[in-house]
Amino acid sequence: MIETRLTRQFGLSVPVVLAPMARVAGGRLAAAVSRAGGLGLIGGGYCDAAWIAEQMDLLRDHAGRAPFGVGLITWALDAVPEVLGQVLAQGPQAVFLSFGDPRPHADAIHAAGARLICQVQDMTGARQALAAGADVIVAQGAEAGGHGAGHGRGRATMTLVPEVVDLVAAERPEVLVLAAGGITDGRGLAAALMLGADGVVCGTRFWAAAEALVPEGQARAALAVDGDATFRSSLVDVARGLDWPAPYDLRGMRNAFSAQWEGRLEALAADPAARAAWAEAAANGDAGIAAPIVGEGIGLIRDAPGAAQIMARMAQEAAQRLGHGARPVGT
């Protein structure tokens, strides 16, 4: 067991939170992470109430009384705020909001007895999260897979995390800080704790887990590449017709489709046949067209075991690293 403020407050044995990857972090994966001593979060993403309800049922079937939470994309929630009430009725320990202003939803989350986790990509976002009354702030570096601050505005995990830690210590020291972006093993967990974080949020490592909702073809392709194979772009969002607000874009893998269309996004938006081909490939797991959405940490991953094995490895390696005489801040 690695004890931090995160483990004490949420009743965990490992200071690891599952990133709520939209339609990848389903009920089985969230349950597996929670049963293994972390905090499992369902990736509610674009606020599809029926899908969230289905995954919540799966989580309850597999997680027992283990703590859990739900992640939602904030700008999508703004359009269907009633989804938050449906989520809160399930009694999550936490609601994880990303990519937008959390303040309109904070009171409802706290009134339901849940903790508000806010993911941020810069110091402006961190200050906004503090103003919203966040209980936990996730400092996400641009190394992360999926969406984050793009268009040259992304911060690196190594510098963003301690800067957020310092801000929180000065203004609201009771707030927890978690590190995200490029953390895939015990070395990353130990490094984050040494930066002053209370724990980590891991996406790409659990994207490549047996319980993740990832097509076999995409998983196989991702496990064969290194971190150089990823890039940031709005290409995937254009291909699937999602109008993401600035400044966010997405990190995923390069492939033949990206080579054809990167730099020609307006043309892609105007080509229904190309977008239909992408959608069909995504449904079939064809990584040559619909590339895996993973972060730079994919280069450190070569297998896809169960989440419990991933958690055990990470905890053991971090404990060994920290046992060399270093002690994380704030424990």
The residues assigned a catalytic role are 147
- Would you call 104 exposed, middle or buried from its count of C-beta atoms within 10 A (0-12, 13-18, 19+)? middle
Identify the DSSP state of 13: S
SS (H, E, C) 42-92: EEEECCCHHHHHHHHHHHHHHHCCCCEEEEEEHHHHHHCCHHHHHHHCCCC
**Hey, what are 9's tokens?**
């407050």
β-strands 16-18, 199-202 pairing: parallel
Whether 77 and 92 have beta carbons less than 8 Å apart is answered as no
Strand, helix or coil for residue 235 = helix
Q: How many CB atoms lie within 10 A of CB 156?
A: 12
Give the closest residue to 178 by CA, choosing from 243, 146, 134: 134
Residues whose CB is less than 8 angstroms from the CB of residue 51 and which lie 6 or more positions away in sequence, other chains included: 23, 44
Give the Cα separation of 238 and 260 in Å (integer): 14
β-strands 136-140, 176-180 pairing: parallel
CA 63 to each of CA 33, 166, 171, 199, 207: distance values in angstroms, whole numbers, following the listed order:
9, 35, 36, 21, 19
